[in-house]
Structure formats: structure tokens, C-alpha cells
Amino acid sequence: MTGLPPATERVEAAQPPRAAPTPDERRLVQALRAGDEAAFVAMVERYNGALLRLALSFVPSRAVAEEVVQETWLAVITGIDRFEGRSTLRTWLFRILVNRAKTRGERERRTVPFSSLATGEAGDDEPLVDADRFAPADSPWAGHWTTGPRPWAHAPEGRLLSKETTSVVTGAIEALPPAQRAVVSLRDIAGWSSEEVCESLGISEVNQRVLLHRGRTRVRNALETHFDGEG
Amino acid sequence: MADTSPLACAELVVLVTDYLEGAMTPSERARFDAHLDECPLCVVYVDQFRRTLDAIGTLREEDVPAPARRVLLSAFRDWKGSRGDAPPDDGAPSTRA
């Protein structure tokens, strides 16, 4: 499988969905309950970026997203004694975030709940690759490329992304509609499994896959525009 | 009912995530692979899609800015200080009232 997340996340993503904390997570919960500050700081460092990215899918501004993430961490502190281990620690953490971000997002900007957004974005029939690039239905080559993808001269190769390419990818993700952005962030940046994403966002597997597809295609399109522009 | 007609490029573009996610039946997958065997442009497309995923996967998690970290650490210490008894050391939920 390609498009693998960073190594530390990859091992977790490859395992079947867990209903209980991992041994590492149990140790972390113990450490937090014992007041281990280093463990708490490590946990914050580890997850803060993913929490922030996900919050940005729900709320209109970075400032609000940072508030939501901050509130989430405070809820973790006060709630860790009550964490019962019915889900993984990570799922618990992100569920807190998602609930807060949804509530805040709905209050700040939208009256439409996230699940409706997800359905709307997934049901959107807008072609992601311009129909002009394929032969029309009445042609002998109906549906085949007429203007195909051009090989990328300076293609992103693994971890050797230029600053420019990174900024194209980041920009493309930031421009995604919220549900697509949330799914792409959780699957492809944070390395969650599809089961974990569906559980946290409250969407179906099929819905999740459609959103993932649409989001990824848009990012690929942005890279194509960028690399085609380089000639 | 399974579609046994040859895949066209416009359809492949819609199906590529199903393919990469392993969400296809064996015959759907065979149909997709058969098209790739004869369509170099779609090979390029799928390759670009995979490279896009790799590129997304390199995005780094952002550092926690220092003021936010101080606030959180302070909150953690406050919480620590406010708890009377030592916590149970088996990781089980606290049983204090």
C-alpha cells in the first residue's frame, strides 16, 4: 500500500480497529494519573498538530481552532481519571475534539451539522477531473483520455518535498470542503484507519471513502496544475 | 451485477481510491488492472495519485506554541495539586467520591 503515514503512525494504522487501549496507552494513562508532566507534554506534542488540523475542518478560523484544541486538552486533564478504556485513548481524545469542534463550528458559522455536510459533499456529482479531458460518449474512444496526465518533471518523491510543493499540498488541503478536509487529514496525515475515522466522525464507510477520494483527487489536481505550470 | 465491459479512463479516475483502499471485488480489481495493462496514461494517473498520498503523508504535525504549552502545563499541575489521594496504580478509573 502506498501513501503510508509516518512510521510511528503506520504500525497503529495497520492493526485492526481496537476497542481497548494499547499497552503503550495504558502506560500513558497510568503516567498521567500519577501526575507525570513529561508524559503529559509528550502526549500534547504528539497529538496537538492532528487535533489542530482536524479542528480546522470544523471551525472558521485558526484562532477558534486553537481554542477548541486547548479546551480539548483541558477536558483530557480533568477527564483522565474517568477514562474507562472502552475505546483507545486516541479515539477518546479525538472524540472530545470532534464534539467540541462541531458544536463550536455550528455556533460560529454553520447551522448544518457535520453529518449533513459529509453527506452533501459525498453526494456531490461535480466531476473532479474535467469532462473535456475525455472523449465524449459518441466517440469510438468514449471515456478515454484525450488530454491525459503529463508526467511530473519534478514529481514529489517520498520525503524530499520542496518547500514549494509542500505549500501547494498544504494549500490544497486547506481549500478542501470541511468533510473532505477532515477525512483526508485523519487518514492521510494522522494515519488513522477508516474504521477509526468513521467512528469519530459518525459517517459510513462508503461515505468516508467518497470523501477521501474527492479530497485526494483535488490535491492531486492542485499538484498537476502546479507541475504543469513549471513546463 | 458485475460490469464486465472494459474500463474507460474516465471511470478509472472515479474508482482509484476504491482500488487503493482494497474496496473492490476480485473481478472489479481485475478489470481495473486489465485497463492499466493497456493504458499508459492511466498508469501515470494512478502513479501521480500515489505520489500525492505520499506528499500528503509528509506534512508535519505542527509544534505546540510555547504560551499554549505553559497554560496546559499549569492546568495539569493545578489538577495534580487538587487531587487528594494517590491514584490507583493499575490504571483503573478512580473510585474516589
pLDDT the model gives residue A15: 40
ipTM of this complex prediction, to 2 decimal places: 0.73
pLDDT the model gives residue A146: 94
Query: What are the b/e assignments for A132-143, b being 16+ CB within 10 Å?
Result: ebbbeeeeeeeb
**Rounded to a whole number, what is the distance in Å from the CA of B69 to chain A's nearest CA?**
8
Residue of B nearest to A76 (CA): B76
Instruction: Classify A134 as helix, strand or coil.
Output: strand
Cβ neighbour number for residue A121 with a 10 Å cutoff: 21
Which of A144, A152, A187 should one mutate to test binding to chain B, selecting the residue with the greatest count of B CBs within 10 A?
Answer: A144
Instruction: Give the pLDDT band of residue A58 (cuts 50, 70, 90).
Output: confident
Residue of A nearest to B61 (CA): A49
The three cell numbers of residue B85 are 489521594
Residue A56 sits at the vertex; the CA angle it makes with A49 and A61, to the nearest 5 degrees, is: 120
Is residue A118 predicted with pLDDT exceeding 50? yes
Measure CA of the first residue to CA of the last residue in chain A; give whole Å: 30
Instruction: Give the pLDDT band of residue A184 (cuts 50, 70, 90).
Output: very high
Query: What are the b/e assignments for A71-107, b being 16+ CB within 10 Å?
Result: bbbbebbeebbebebebbbbbbbbbbbbebbbebbee
- Per the prediction, chain A carries an average pLDDT of 82
Number of Cβ pairs < 8 A linking chain A and chain B: 176
User: What average pLDDT score do residues A11-22 get?
Assistant: 54
Is residue A2 predicted with pLDDT exceeding 50? no
pLDDT the model gives residue A127: 78
Q: State what percent of residues in chain B have pLDDT above 90.
A: 49
Residue of A nearest to B35 (CA): A144
Is residue A151 predicted with pLDDT exceeding 70? yes
pTM: predicted TM-score of the whole model, two decimal places:
0.72
Question: For residue B93, which residues of chain A lie inside 8 Å, CB to CB?
Answer: 81-84
Instruction: Give the pLDDT band of residue B68 (cuts 50, 70, 90).
Output: confident
Query: From the list B22, B57, B68, which residue is nearest A188 (CB)?
Result: B57
pLDDT tens digits, B26-57: 999 999 999 999 999 999 999 999 999 989 98
**Rounded to a whole number, what is the distance in Å from the CA of B97 to chain A's nearest CA?**
12
Cα Rg, chain A, nearest whole Å: 20
Query: From the list B10, B11, B57, which residue is nearest A6 (CB)?
Result: B57
